[in-house]
Amino acid sequence: MTIAITPELPKPTSSHRQLGAFIGQWHAEGSSYADGQQAADPLASAVPWKSDESYEWLPGGFFVLHRWDALAGERVFKGTQILGFDDKEGGFFTRHFDNTGNHPEYRAKVVGDTWTFTDKSTRATVTVANDGNEMQFNWEWRKEGEKWLPLCDRVARRVAAEA
């Protein structure tokens, strides 16, 4: 008699499950500053930001798919992002793809309800608030060797728990 041994499939860890804070459908409003921005007055070029966004688990529960459809002033901004946790490196990461050709890869950390996402030219602080029904985004950008400037500030409110 032959007994087949099936290897146990990997399971998401508690770190993977932390990404669940994002799961759902969101509507965000705020300001975007980058178009026409001047370092002397970085908020002077503010235009309204509005977006509808969704975050959903990919099969297996290891990765989250984030999609957005935004309007920053008159500029359409759409994209997709994958968020995950790298067990080998012990950290969160994201990979972002948008309709303007950007494709940054961010490293991310979470402390309490605050997430930070960083790459060499952009960074964000995202604070989850209001019992997980609100996210406050503060994005910054910089040219190499220059100081950080505000990119956009917005507040997202959950409109549905599952995407």
Q: Which CATH architecture has domain 14-35+45-160?
A: Beta Barrel (2.40)
- Alpha-carbon distance of 3 to 56, in angstroms, equals 38
- Alpha-carbon distance of 132 to 114, in angstroms, equals 11
pLDDT over 90 for what percent of the chain? 79
- Alpha-carbon distance of 84 to 62, in angstroms, equals 6
pLDDT of residue 1: 63
Give the start-to-end residue ranges of the domains of the chain: 14-35+45-160
- Alpha-carbon distance of 67 to 80, in angstroms, equals 5
**pLDDT tens digits, residue range 1-33?**
677 777 788 899 999 999 999 999 999 999 999
Q: Is the pLDDT of residue 163 over 60?
A: no
* Residue 41, C-beta contacts closer than 8 angstroms, at least 6 positions apart: none
For the entire predicted model, the pTM comes to 0.89
* Residue 96, C-beta contacts closer than 8 angstroms, at least 6 positions apart: 79, 80, 81, 102, 103, 104, 105, 106
Confidence of residue 105 (pLDDT cuts 50, 70, 90): very high
Q: Is the pLDDT of residue 155 over 90?
A: yes
**pLDDT tens digits, residue range 30-51?**
999 977 777 778 888 899 999 9
